[in-house]
Structure 1
Amino acid sequence: MFAEQIQNGIIYGDQNFFVPPHLNFGAFVLEKILEHNDRVALINGETEEQITYPKMVQKIVNIASSLTDLGVEIGDVVAIASENRLEYFVSSIAVYCCGGISTFFNNAYTKNELTHAIDISKPKFMFVSGEVFKRHSETLRSINFIKKIVLYDDIESSGNDCIRYRELSERYVDINTYKPIDYKGKNGTCMILYTSGTTGLAKGAKITHLNLIVACQQPHFGSSLSRELTSLFIAPWSSTMGQICGLQDIVHGIRTVFLTKYEERLYIKTIEKYKVGYLTMPPPLVVMLCKSSIVNEYDISSVEILFVGGAPTNPKTITQLKTRYPHIKHLLQAYGATEATGSVCREMEVAPKEGSVGPIVPGIIIKVVDPETNKVLGVGEPGEVRMSGPAVFDGYIGKDKKDDFDEAGFYKTGDIAYYDKDGYFYIVDRIKEIIKYKAWQVPPSELEGILLQHPAVKEAGVTGTPDLLAGELPTAFVVKQQGAIVTEKEIVDYISDKVAPWKRLRGGVIFVDEVPKTPSGKILRRKLKALLQSVQKIPASKL
């Protein structure tokens, strides 16, 4: 089977997709939603508010028609700056239907982060929650290209630049006569997503209608067991993981429970309350489930599947999880990227392999190359993942594609991986995040996975401390379990017993209250580097 997928070292995922002639992703979603009858689409797990698929369709066409009347034209950017809420996907899908481009700002953005993102995408219209408006109204009103601000909440505001979401959504439009924009087969930008910024300032990735149509036709987690499984989602819908997984759930007719913020007890309580069947989560939440004492107070036996993305999950953590929760049938890992419109590789319920992120997904083409020589590598040879295909994005706003794509048109991910004889991929680490100790390469994620096996460690992040002789010394930032007593030497020795000499924590251990992460759960290496500069300590190699 895999032999048929690989040609001259290039691995091809299935490239057979239905592409509607109108090529409007919004219209594609509407067509899918109408197949779900009276099913519940979304539930706010904290407030119990919910929306059914038929009501969602009605709201979408109402908002889309209203946006057209407000002056949204083909190619106009419309931003959403809000916590997760029922109105979120209604708003973005409506934007696609009327020809606009959706973009998403995290509701926790600082003023500088918000202005940076706004400067990239230059939205003419914005949907804003009351919380965000109260915090950033002065900034938003100072930007002259923002024409209208649509407020989700009924809060105090003055000026003609604001309008209530309620006024747009309650305008009735007949869903049988409403017609989304027909692009007549011409592809274009549909969505702007921002890279996670783990190593620097975020960039705006241009996601096309075709990208999203393809991504939403990829096989869905849980679909082979039962569409009746309820999903619980915690990632912000401003993130790539939040957007793509959320849209896939909607297209496949899944009932999704969401939360606006993560709080351990609330998360576990919500699983019990809604008898959640599968969880979409970053690796830190897997560790939480392994180590939480709160779980014992609740019944979470409904959980059958965990879909884990954002970073590799250590195989020993997976074993611990399945031992503690024998009712969990599968922990399925994925390797994804904003630039791939979601998943690049993904495990399915059938024949997962320990430590793997699964085979290539439909819509993606991969080659693994030596990043220095560009030589295409074979089975078992780690190299940079480069990708192409109809799910791969159209480049970054304001950047020449030559900077990020090779001569054959493959996007250079900067991720190091290898694949086995069956076509299953294994992620090693990021090129830019690999620690260089003398002539040796040390993957931070490997050390983080081992650290999380220590009973006193709740969270861990690893980076390199600059050293004149060695280049970099592996250094760990550790969050202790509540009430745990452990010393730096104990953790250094624990790692030394389990790794090759060059991977030891020669830069020592720094105890912190939290490890900085993106909303989707990725460790922010640049912030770890910044923390290093503020800490004066003796390297462990000299203790």
Structure 2
Amino acid sequence: MSVVSDIRLEKFPSKHVSFSRVFLDYSSSYRTKEALIDPDTGEKLTFLELPSAVARVQRQLIGIKKGTVIAVVCGNSISILLVYLATIDVGAIIVPVNPASKRYELEKYLDECKVDYVLTEHEYAVKVAEILAQPKFEAIFTIILEDLLKREPLASAASEEPNEEDTAFIFFSSGTTGPPKAIRHNHRTLLAHLSQILFVRDRNSMKYPFPLVNEEDRVHGVLPYFHAGGLITVFCMLIQGATVVVNKKWNEEGFLRILQGFQITTINVVPPIMDFLVKHPLVDSFELKSLKTVFVGAAKCDEVLLRSLKRRLPNLEHVIQLYGLTEAGVLLFVTPVRNIHLSSVGRAMPGVHAKILDEHGDLMKFGEVGRLVVKAPTYMQGYLGEHLAVPYGWFDTGDLACIDDQGFVYITGRTKDMIKVRGWQVNPFEIEEAIKANVVGVKDCAVVGVDHDVDGQRPKAFIVGEPDVNEVINFVKDTFTSYKHLCGVEIVDAIPRTPSGKILRRELVSSIGAGG
């Protein structure tokens, strides 16, 4: 059987069901320990100060009530975390939006989510105002964050607690395989993430211990809070008593200065930031001995990059891969701190079940590659407009994977990325990794399927760098079976990727269709 975990996850030990109230009640036990630090403004909040800070913001949010939908077009900050906690605690719904979104994208999000308010910053106010000037958005009100925080708080605020099934957040997927989907998470699914962390802390495996942080750790929350993974992992760090140093925007030198200046012990990053740490000469100018643990997720991280990072930062103790999905939970699989298989995304977190199915839906054996389906208490409430999240509780991740007899999960590709050549399935990731690891001059690589009259499709490689094209073609010929051979190689300036590092293969395929 390929079912990975059969642990029943208990509910969070609290009398409350509001994510905000449970989080604030539990974390206040860390008292005068610093919870949040803003390196740009110098603002600091202790765990004991968090509840009153959230209550103040709640009294400043005039007119916000249960069911109110607020799109947030802001960068990372302590204030935004406070706004999130204050808003969902009265039963309102937050729609976090990437402030770099283009006009078309913003309009789609506002329209689809039936937004009542847009909360933004002065930096993005003009762009938001231009969109809201359209007649179809005339009922939407704008709140400027800086102005909100200057308001005199009302004497009291609504205190009715939302139901655990009430929607708290609507996150949008990255859209790597199609248009971004609106994904609803309620208070119950958010609390399940915290329950996973507490379960691990209290009953961690001796053989396969999951990584944890504690009150001695300082975490740099690099990932954006408009992304489910970036936001939820911040709360998971705080619930363990760690101090989180927030960041407004990604900046290479600023990132390194924070790591050094605040003696950061732990960072949450995506593969492109790992790549920066491995390759950029600026890294050598900073003292990073305090950094002990790197959590990396959102996209598959190849083994070469993992080994290279440990060589570049010899004091680093753990490089931990995380696997999650906005729909199913941001912490489904995590690599343990011992018995690590570098090519694996780890073992199932508490309460997570997984199995591998073939194309007919039949269960596959250990080590066999097939479709990865999961079941977890962190499942979304559902896509916007749909009542049920998944039929029968199992969610198809869209990933190809296998599971070994120790419960380690290995991601081998995406089902929709597979290239079909003469009836054979070609995994582009396999070819990409081989080229990057073995051909001189290759900085980045992506392989997609090109339509072919006879074979159906053939693989084509897009490469960043200055390799010998013939060397690339001949390497693939010498390394792989004939149906995996490349029909061409194109040198490009950059591989299109999401901010988290996932390849946007659709853009490469479109460029072929457009004569690129």
Q: TM > 0.5 between the two?
A: yes
- The answer as to 2:230 corresponding to 1:242 is yes
Q: Which residue of 2 aligns with 1:491?
A: 472
Q: Distance in 1 between matches of 2:477 and 2:283?
A: 32
Could you tell me which residue of structure 2 aligns to residue 156 of structure 1?
A: none
Contact 1:383/1:418, CA 8 A, preserved across alignment: yes
Tell me if structure 2 keeps the 8 A contact 1:476–1:510.
yes
Structure 2 SS opposite 1:131: helix
Residues 528/55 of structure 1: CA separation in 2 closer, same or farther (3 Å cut): farther
Q: Secondary structure at the match of 1:387?
A: strand
Q: Is the aligned partner of 1:521 residue 2:501?
A: yes
The verdict on how the C-alpha distance between 1:167 and 1:294 changes in structure 2, with shifts beyond 3 A counting, is closer
Distance 2:40 2:318 in 1: 27
- CA deviations on 1:302-356 (whole Å, 9 max, x unpaired) are 2211111112221222222222322111111121100123121111323322211
Q: Quote the Cα distance in structure 1 between the aligned partners of 2:234 and 2:116.
A: 25
In 2: Cα distance, 1:529 partner to 1:308 partner: 28
| 1:95/1:102 contact within 8 Å kept | yes
Q: Secondary structure at the match of 1:216?
A: helix
3-state SS in 2 of match to 1:133: helix
Question: Corresponding residue for 1:360?
Answer: 348
Map 1:194-343 → 2, pairs under 5 A: 194-219=172-197, 224=212, 226-343=214-331
Shift of 1:426: 0.8
Of 148, 155, 161 in structure 2, the residue corresponding to residue 182 of structure 1 is 161
- Offset at 1:410? 1.5
Corresponding residue number in structure 2 for 1:3: none
Give the direction of change, closer, same or farther, for the CA distance of 1:510–1:102 in structure 2 (3 Å limit).
Answer: same
The 1:32/1:475 distance shift into structure 2, 3 A limit, reads: farther
Instruction: Report if aligned partners of 1:239, 1:519 keep a CA contact under 8 Å in 2.
Output: no
Contact 1:205–1:397 under 8 Å retained in 2: yes
Residues 39-78 of structure 1 aligned to structure 2 (within 5 Å): 39-46=33-40, 48-67=42-61, 70-78=62-70
* SS in structure 2 of the partner of residue 532 of structure 1: helix
CA contact (8 A) 1:244 1:341 kept: no
Counterpart residue identity of residue 138, structure 1: E
Q: Is the 8 A contact 2:72 2:97 kept in 1?
A: yes
Query: Contact conserved, 1:78 with 1:125, CA < 8 A, in 2?
Result: yes
CA contact (8 A) 1:124 1:145 kept: no
Quick one: distance in 1 between partners of 2:104 and 2:225? 20
* 8 Å Cα contact 1:61-1:173 kept in structure 2: no
Whole-angstrom distance in 1 between the partners of 2:218 and 2:471: 42
CA contact (8 A) 1:333 1:346 kept: yes
Aligned counterpart, 1:442: 426
Counterpart code for 2:179: L
Contact (CA 8 Å) 1:312, 1:445: kept in 2 or not? no
Q: For the residues of structure 2 that align with 1:499 and 1:324, how far apart are their CA atoms?
A: 31
What CA distance in whole angstroms lies between the structure 2 residues aligned with 1:182 and 1:270?
A: 38
Alignment pair present for 1:418 and 2:402:
yes
1:296: how far off?
1.7
Tell me what 1:383 maps to: 370
Aligned length: 504
- Shift, 1:521, TM fit: 2.2
Give the Cα–Cα distance (whole angstroms) in 2 for the partners of residues 225 and 238 of structure 1: 23
Tell me the distance in 1 between the aligned counterparts of 2:19 and 2:446.
38
CA spacing shift, 1:173–1:380, aligned 2, 3 Å: farther
Q: Distance in 2 between matches of 1:58 and 1:496?
A: 65
Amino acid at match of 2:85: I
Residue aligning to 1:348:
336
Q: What percentage of residue pairs aligned between the two structures are identical?
A: 26
Q: Deviations over 1:74-119 (max 9, x none)?
A: 2222221111122111111111111111110100000111111112
Superposed CA RMSD in Å reads 2.6
Summarize the Cα distance change of 1:13–1:474 in structure 2 as closer, same or farther, 3 Å threshold. farther
| C-alpha distance in 1 between matches for 2:153 and 2:70 | 20
Equivalent pair of 1:215/1:363 in contact (CA under 8 Å)? no
Q: Distance in 2 between matches of 1:424 and 1:384?
A: 15
Shift of 1:11: 3.9
Query: Does residue 513 of structure 2 align to residue 530 of structure 1?
Result: no
The letter for the 2-side match of 1:510 is E
The 8 Å contact of residues 12 and 360 in structure 1, kept in 2 or not, is answered as no
| Code of the aligned partner of 1:109 | S
**Does the aligned pair in 1 maintain the 2:71–2:115 contact within 8 Å?**
yes
Equivalent pair of 2:65/2:90 in contact (CA under 8 Å) = yes
Say yes or no: does 1:474 pair with 2:459.
Answer: yes
1:515 maps to amino acid: I
Give CA deviations for 1:346-384 in whole Å, capped at 9, x if unaligned: 1132332221111111232323222x3221223222222
Aligned to 2:380: 393
| 2: CA distance, partners of 1:486 / 1:15 | 51
Q: How has the CA–CA distance of structure 1 residues 13 and 502 changed in structure 2, closer, same or farther, with 3 Å as cutoff?
A: farther
**In 1: Cα distance, 2:39 partner to 2:468 partner:** 39
1:137-216 correspondence to structure 2 within 5 Å? 137-142=129-134, 143-144=136-137, 146-153=139-146, 164-168=147-151, 171=153, 180-183=159-162, 186-216=164-194
Query: Taking structure 2 as the reference length, what is the TM-score of the superposition?
Result: 0.90
Give the Cα–Cα distance (whole angstroms) in 2 for the partners of residues 387 and 253 of structure 1.
30
Residue number among 442, 446, 449 corresponding to 1:457 in the alignment: 442
In structure 2, the residue corresponding to 1:432 is in which secondary structure? helix
One-letter amino acid of the structure 1 residue matched with residue 264 of structure 2 = V
Amino acid at match of 2:280: S
Structure 1 residue 513, shift from structure 2 partner: 2.5
* Change over 3 Å in CA distance of 1:325–1:496 after alignment to 2: farther
Which residue identity does 1:27 align to in structure 2? R
Amino acid at match of 1:486: P
Moved more, 189-198 or 119-128: 119-128
CA apart distance, 1:396? 0.5
Structure 1 residues 376, 297: closer, same or farther in 2, change over 3 A? same
Q: 1:108 to 1:225 in 2, by over 3 A?
A: closer
Over 3 Å counting, the alpha-carbon distance change for 1:46 and 1:532 in structure 2 is farther
Q: What CA distance in whole angstroms lies between the structure 2 residues aligned with 1:102 and 1:218? A: 23
Match of 2:94 in 1: 102
The structural deviation recorded for 1:255 is: 1.7
Tell me: CA distance 1:351–1:535, structure 2 relative to 1, closer, same or farther (3 Å).
same
State the one-letter code of the partner of 2:30. H
SS in 2 for 1:307: strand
Cα offset, 1:204, TM superposition: 0.7
Name the structure 1 match of 2:484.
Answer: 503
Q: In structure 1, list runs of 5 or more residues that go unmatched.
A: 1-5, 154-163, 537-543
Output the amino acid matched with 2:333.
C
Contiguous gaps of at least 5 residues in structure 2? 202-209
Call closer, same or farther: CA 1:24–1:225 in 2, change over 3 Å. Answer: closer
CA distance in 2, matches of 1:251, 1:120: 33
Question: CA 1:146 to 1:418, structure 2 compared with 1: closer, same or farther past 3 Å?
Answer: farther
8 A Cα contact 1:459 1:479, kept in partner: yes
Residues 368 and 417, structure 1, Cα contact 8 Å, conserved in 2: yes
